[in-house]
Chains A and B, each alone.
Chain A
């Protein structure tokens, strides 16, 4: 039995298990056990992966599994992981696990909630372990559609509007993506030999440059929509703000990473020439994302909107770094994905917990919470400091690597966009410190807040697991960085092998 198959089987079994349960207590227990097993599996995978690399296995993809699905179209159920996917799987494991504990008190239709949540998680896991474009696309859509149900039923505020907007925009993204994937498929092999959806096989051929020029925007924007690429990011703030806590965590934490991951694994890796040629357009768009998202976060008054816009900014930075297309910046991009995934999941978990106590998310109505709920307050400060890139936390490692990598380009254009994007660090500090100041310090504005109780045990599990991961990456980034670097090398080599005289 290949270990990667378990990442699909365990959630499916968990879903079946939840169907048999009767009430909240049972279903959350089953979910917690299932996702706990999944988290352990993720760590086992990291260990096995490192052991395999230590033993001198130099294959690009490890733990390959391949089963023919539709022979006449050469569609396979093909799995395999490299260091990048392993890291993303570990991230997913942590966030999903924390998400289950963050929704420990889901009273309304609990079974349906956990089933949808775990189907979403299955889609995400499946996406990261697939190396066949067809299965990848299938899992991608599988991850998107439960969002509608999750936000629509358990959301708050204008939930129906947000759910519909999110689903339709992401599905429009997958429309672009589908065209890209089909185009890649029909040029995946020289005339006469069988076509393939397998990414590793396709990376051995060169797709004709005219087709690359046509298909790259489709694929990149398709994934970019999920990665909150300006101007297609508008689903993100509404969606995040309306979603229930665990869904915001999963969505900002891992689902948006599908965009970044797909953008380099499919769009840039398979179509490097077009990527080199057109990168400047998307670099401009992503720098706008970065700065615009940060500025928008400053003026928001709703905690979730603040964090949602900060996600737009940080995810923009991921795409920005990927488009720099050198080893250092792309390494930074991957670390940023993981760092932001953990950080933003922590933020959303905290916001959910604070909202559950204060019943408001407007920062102006809150104040002095540090005095009444010190545990949550401290964790909020930690999340904030990690988000603004304080050394010792993961955010610093990620942003530092990204900007060092970006500055390795010597031409004026890249320098300018780098400086523009780097300015977001300052803006981030503004909105983070502003919120921390208003929310946690100062006088208590509402006398009812004096009776608030601090975090329960399940909330502590949820937050502490995320904080641990953030500090672990912040203080000892090399193990992650090495793992990613090793797998990035062949990708960057393929990209830099093509010499294109671009616009800049």
Chain B
């Protein structure tokens, strides 16, 4: 392994080193000094994020198991930025007394899953893909059970591990069928020979089912709400944003390269699942009162929109999906950031607690409104552009009715996002939550999300970069 190979794998290697450094520092720190880990890790991760943006060459390692392109590096960077925001948002919560002894665990587990996602996105064959996927999933279960003395958190962990074990099994069965049918596990060679025969379609269905679990598409979404509600809020935001984003990235790459030949077959499946996911996710979100469950169901609905870009089946669709995930990261983290700040300070997570919040905490409310409008796809914030491009890509393939259903769903989603806006701005409350001032880290995290929500839409450069990188992936 020479130096240029190390550069190729710099995301994975650096993060591994950071995780190990955190572990070593933790070993050498006194119990009362544990909180020093937080600033150290944050600055290390910040450096890691910046280094990720340095230019790199596309190359292949391990005989095709691992490969990077400019697009893949971009995907990893997008994830990095998201994780950075989450880390900033979790500082206040980590400093709490009850978490003092497990600070380093949080970081190490989080970084392990992130390394898994890197490998998953970079994989060149199904073996590496599966390894990455598992590495990305199992530590999250531990994270979900982070507050292990709380029943709900422990329950979330066990639910997550069981359902991902099941879905991994299904996925692995799909992969073995693919191997049986094509005699290869390499993406390149499979994509040459993949054909529309019953067995290969069946293999695809198993594979897709496994992935659908990970992205929580309906009808494989049932684990989501309970896990999201039980897990600590920052883990929830990690699950719903980073995990889902990474899975969406690899899914769209696989759909457009490996399974491209059976697109006419899978389009029917995707069509139905997209409609189901958007509609059912929305209908469930309508009735939620707990903010975490609320955002969980809304993120299920959002996953349905991603399928529209895959259905588009062209460069436009690929760009739209990546762009949408980027926008979604900022918008959802903005919303989660506010929920997290409020829940950390006051312990309140119900929508009713937000009544009249504007009279005491106007800035937080404005940010929340922006984030929710972005999630709903209202101009001029970034979510509008993200949704518009997804719809455009689906329309480019002629799915006008699907676009119509999707926009109607966006309208339904606007209803429940407005419920939160209504609670904050319109509802009267004798005793709204008192004014609180969050610390620097939380505020930085919130400001970054707000900037992203505002700037990404107007700044068309970003879309163009993603678009130019998407060329070459699809033939």
Contact = CB atoms under 8 A, between A and B. Distances in A.
Q: Do A and B come from one complex?
A: yes
B2 interface: no
A73 B316 contact: yes
A487 interface: no
Interface of A: 69-73, 75, 134, 138-139, 141-142, 145, 148-149, 152-153, 159-160, 164, 167-168, 171-172, 174-176, 178-179, 182-183, 185-186, 214, 218
B422 A160 contact: yes
A138 B463 CA distance: 17
A interface majority secondary structure: helix
A218 B379 CA distance: 21
B411 A171 contact: yes
B374 to A, nearest CB: 12
Nearest to A177: B407
B418 A167 contact: yes
B403 A182 contact: yes
Contact of B378 (A73, A141, A176): A141
Contacts of A171: 410-411, 414
A183 B400 contact: yes
Contacts of A148: 418, 421
Given A152-B426, A160-B426, A179 B400 contact: yes
Interface in B229-256: none
B395 interface: yes
A70 B411 contact: no
Given A141-B378, A153-B426, A179 B373 contact: no
Contacts of A179: 395, 400, 403-404, 407
A77 B26 CA distance: 54
Contacts of A71: 460, 464
A72 B392 CA distance: 13
B467 interface: yes
B391 interface: yes
B425 interface: yes
B380 A73 contact: no
A168 B464 contact: no
A141 B379 contact: yes
A152 B373 CA distance: 16
Given A138-B380, A142-B380, A182-B400, A73 B392 contact: yes
Contact of A175 (B378, B404, B415, B418): B404
Contacts of B421: 148-149
B464 A70 contact: yes
A183 B392 CA distance: 9
B408 A175 contact: yes
Interface in B382-410: 384, 388-389, 391-392, 395-396, 400, 403-404, 407-408, 410
A178 B418 contact: no
A164 B421 CA distance: 11
Contacts of B395: 179, 182-183, 185-186
Contacts of B464: 70-72
Nearest to A214: B400
Interface string B352-376: 0000000000000000000001000
Nearest 10 pairs between A and B by C-beta?
Answer: A175-B407, A182-B395, A171-B411, A138-B379, A152-B426, A72-B467, A70-B460, A179-B404, A141-B379, A142-B379
A164 B418 contact: yes
Given A69-B460, A138-B380, A178 B391 contact: yes
B177 to A, nearest CB: 37
Contacts of B388: 134, 178
Nearest to B415: A168
Query: Which one of A70, A72, A138, A153 has the greatest number of beta carbons of chain B within 10 Å?
Result: A72
Nearest to A218: B404
Query: Which one of A160, A168, A178, A214 has the greatest number of beta carbons of chain B within 10 Å?
Result: A178
Interface residues of B, number: 32
A159 to B, nearest CB: 8
B410 to A, nearest CB: 7
A174 B403 CA distance: 12
Contacts of A139: 379
Given A138-B379, A175-B410, 11 more contacts: A70-B460, A70-B464, A72-B319, A72-B463, A72-B467, A75-B460, A171-B414, A175-B407, A178-B391, A179-B395, A214-B400
A152 B425 contact: yes
B411 A175 contact: yes
B404 to A, nearest CB: 5
A56 B415 CA distance: 51
A183 B404 CA distance: 11
A322 B389 CA distance: 32
B357 to A, nearest CB: 13
A359 B389 CA distance: 49
A50 B210 CA distance: 66
B423 to A, nearest CB: 11
Given A72-B467, A153-B425, A145 B407 contact: no
A75 B316 CA distance: 13
B16 to A, nearest CB: 37
Contacts of A70: 460, 463-464
B425 A149 contact: yes
Interface string B458-475: 001001100110000000
Query: Which one of A139, A172, A185 has the greatest number of beta carbons of chain B within 10 Å?
Result: A172
A152 B420 CA distance: 13
Contacts of A69: 460
21 contacts: A69-B460, A70-B460, A71-B460, A72-B467, A73-B389, A138-B380, A139-B379, A141-B379, A148-B421, A152-B425, A153-B425, A164-B418, A171-B410, A171-B414, A172-B408, A175-B408, A176-B404, A179-B400, A182-B395, A183-B400, A186-B396
A72 B388 CA distance: 14
A213 to B, nearest CB: 13
B386 to A, nearest CB: 12
Contacts of B426: 152-153, 159-160
Contacts of A152: 422, 425-426
A148 B378 CA distance: 12
Interface in B215-240: none
Contacts of B379: 138-139, 141-142
B392 A185 contact: yes
A141 B384 contact: yes
B414 A168 contact: yes
A237 B319 CA distance: 42
A320 to B, nearest CB: 26
Contacts of B316: 73
A172 B410 CA distance: 9
Contacts of A75: 460
Contacts of A175: 404, 407-408, 410-411
A178 B392 CA distance: 9
A145 B425 CA distance: 14
A167 B384 CA distance: 16
Contacts of A186: 395-396
A239 to B, nearest CB: 14
A149 B404 CA distance: 26
A145 B396 contact: no
B301 to A, nearest CB: 15
B100 to A, nearest CB: 41
Interface string B304-321: 000000000000100100
A389 B425 CA distance: 42
A218 B400 CA distance: 11
Query: Which one of A139, A172, A179, A183 has the greatest number of beta carbons of chain B within 10 Å?
Result: A179
Contacts of A183: 395, 400
Nearest to B316: A73
Nearest to B398: A186
Query: Which one of A139, A152, A159, A218 has the greatest number of beta carbons of chain B within 10 Å?
Result: A152
A24 to B, nearest CB: 17
Given A141-B384, A179-B403, A167 B414 contact: yes
Contacts of B467: 72
Given A72-B463, A72-B464, A176-B404, A182 B391 contact: yes
B400 A168 contact: no
